[in-house]
Amino acid sequence: MKAQRPPELMSSPAIRIQDLSFGYGEGDFELRIGKLEVGRASSAAFIGPSGSGKTTLLHLIAGITLPQSGKIETNGVELTGLSENARRAFRIKNIGLVFQEFELLEYLTVLDNVLLPYRINAALELTEAVRERAANVAVEVGIGDKLSRYPSQLSQGERQRVAVCRAVVTEPAVLMADEPTGNLDPRNKGRVLDILFDYVETSGTTLLTVTHDHDLLDRFERIVDFKELLS
């Protein structure tokens, strides 16, 4: 699984944030970051108290939301200058997201859940090669024999692995996981991280993970503590 990236972008870091300021329309929450860079082919853990803005920052880096001021460059693309459509196209091509609640569709099989990005985004073409890749990642994470099951017929750990497969099947340059181990027992926690880190190693992807599991932090190259970031 090798992510395809234009070579001219490789010299920039995967994430570069400068003088960022963000607030929601309502409420007095404010996220301010002077400078934050995360290198390519590396891993960073976002830690900090609940409500400190970890999920908000992932959304800004993915171009889901825009800051009031400042710059956000993800995979060499300055997001704040792009229209909503352009950011959506950017996201489809560059970002893989694993949500805390997995967000699997109960009426689709495991295989169709993994292939979902190709079903909902016209920009992604569902080719034979993609189907093969989907089957291969499923085998790699240990759910290769469960492709025709439905999510309700899977264990929690297996559901999580489907979500991981779906996030990596498009070969994203940036892989994001928002508390991916939140609901898992220790053995499955370790397994999910193994899968994410294996992918980072083989693909050159950058991994951004929000986590509350301090016993998992040793595995990350970089720890971004929101308590310090925001002070």
CB of 220 to ligand ADP, least distance (A): 17
Q: What is the DSSP letter of 38?
A: E
Q: Two tokens at 227?
A: 């308590």
Q: By the criterion CB under 6 A, which residues form the site for ligand ADP?
A: 24, 26-27, 29, 48, 50-56
∠ CA 25-27-32, rounded to 5° = 80
Counting contacts by CB under 5 A, is residue 55 touching Mg ion? yes
Closer of 55 and 121 to Mg ion (Cβ): 55
Binding mask 2-41 for Mg ion (x = CB under 5 A): ----------------------------------------
Residue 197: half-sphere exposure toward Cβ, Cα within 13 Å: 14
Closer CB to ligand ADP, 55 or 121, in the complex: 55
- Among residues 122, 8, 17, 112, the alpha carbon closest in space to that of 69 is found at 17
As beta bridge partners, residue 120 has none
Angle at the Cα of 14 (from 198 to 63), degrees rounded to 5?
Answer: 105
Of 160 and 203, which CB lies nearer to Mg ion in the complex structure? 160
Give me the least distance between CB of 228 and ligand ADP, in Å please: 14
For residue 194, what is the DSSP state? H
Per partner kind, with CB cut-offs from 5 to 8 A, the member of Mg ion, ligand ADP, none near residue 56 is ligand ADP
Q: Which does 52 bind (CB under 5 to 8 A by kind): Mg ion, ligand ADP, none?
A: ligand ADP
In the complex, which residue's CB is closest to Mg ion? 55
Instruction: Give CA–CA dist 177/210, Å, rounded.
Output: 6
Q: Which residues pair with 43 in a beta bridge?
A: 207
Residue 183 sits in the site that holds Mg ion (CB under 5 A) = no
Site for Mg ion, rule CB under 5 A: 55
